[in-house]
Amino acid sequence: MVAQALNWVGGIDGFLELIDQRKLPGEFTKVECRNIVHIRDAIKTLAVRGAPAIGVAGAYGLVLSLQEPGIGDVSTEWLSVLAKSSEFLASSRPTAVNLFWALDRVRQRAEQLVSGRAGINLQALREAVLNEADAIYRQDVDMCRRIGQNGEKFIRQGSGILTHCNAGALATAGQGTALSVIFEAHKKGRQFRVFVDETRPLLQGARLTAWELKQAGIDVTLVCDNTAGWLMKRGKIDAVITGADRIAANGDTANKIGTYSLGILAAKHGIPFYVAAPSSTFDLGIESGQGIPIEQRAAEEVTTFGKTQIAPEGINVYNPAFDVTEASLITAIITEKGVIEKPNADNISRHLRKLANAKQGGGRLSDLAKDDNRAPQAGS
């Protein structure tokens, strides 16, 4: 397993350390984020990326916001700082719902503490906010392991697996989501081959996923994005496994651009298509994929390769970071709390409701199922 994508260093006066994923695989360097401007820039420029990792980074960003000098002794001022910092961090990337979920969770913890304890001081609040961010981190590590354990059964001996973008340790605090399934199957001693889409335009598959799998000693083959259909036609692919950045109430799933095409191709060739994602990725406040905001990124990501111009100057560019795969194309959604077969609004609601009633897990990742008011909202 590769090094941790992100790690908090020190106590309440500490900082967040990140692997700079913009420079992988050629250069392994780390970035120190010591204020929320650093955190937002790291998220915006993809130094840290992947929905779960972005959520964890956002939570620690609120810890950093309470380190700023000049914060007064009035509790309403502390909550105002957290609210403004949340809004600032949330503006970095609009699609990955885990960011909004984590920011809301930390703020709610702070509000509960301020309203429930008379005479609370800033020191105690800072410790509580750090503890909540740490809890999100630890639960993400556990969540990754559980997703892998719940999904490894779908990878058979000798099978060919196709994955897209990067949903591994670099995208989470733990061992990943889609790649966790692969890592757990590998731990079982199964032999299989993973085909990795390069994932244009930023090559997260080529730069990050291929690197992670090679580090883990897994049989990995890198292919161009437009090779997937031909591989399926030739019988080389037995399953497709991807991550997710946001899942609507009906199971429609937003993931890296190109995922929808894989869903169509898999359906055409009768190949199961699995999504691996934590419960916090569900946005029950959005009925379908039509309501998921899609981030638009800079034209330069398409028109240049490194510092080399590869398209005519001034050409029009359409560069969405994500697309939406309809639930009807998804065989199952693998979560840390179990597998949702044939995902639709009824099956998802039933699954989450059952978890809430059983009070499984004890951690707040399962709290998303308790009521729609706890579900992360777009732009919250």
Answer left, alpha or beta for residue 305, where phi above 0 means left and psi between -120 and 50 means alpha: beta
Residue from 236, 268, 266, 272 nearest 160 by CA: 236
Bridge partners, 19 (sequence order)? 30
Please give the Cα distance from 243 to 221 (Å, whole number). Answer: 19
Please give the Cα distance from 86 to 109 (Å, whole number). Answer: 13
Tokens of 51: 């929905």
Cβ–Cβ < 8 Å for 196, 222: yes
Please give the Cα distance from 1 to 377 (Å, whole number). Answer: 33
Please give the Cα distance from 253 to 273 (Å, whole number). Answer: 12
- Residue 9: CB atoms within 10 A of its CB come to 9
Q: What is the largest CA-CA distance in the chain?
A: 69
DSSP one-letter code for 4: P
Please give the Cα distance from 217 to 209 (Å, whole number). Answer: 12
Annotation says 367 is catalytic: no
Show contacts of 153-156: CB within 8 Å, 24+ apart. Answer: 154/181, 154/239, 154/241, 154/272, 154/274, 154/332, 154/334, 155/181, 155/182, 155/185, 155/190, 155/192, 155/239, 156/190, 156/192, 156/238
Query: Which of 238, 245, 283, 367 is the catalytic position?
Result: 245
Q: Kindly state the helix (H) or strand (E) to which residue 274 belongs, with its residue range.
A: strand 273-276
Using a 10 angstrom Cβ sphere, with 0-12 exposed, 13-18 middle and 19 or more buried, the burial of residue 363 is middle
Tokens of 111: 């509000």
Side chain identity, residue 178: A
Side chain identity, residue 142: D
DSSP one-letter code for 313: T
Active site members: 245
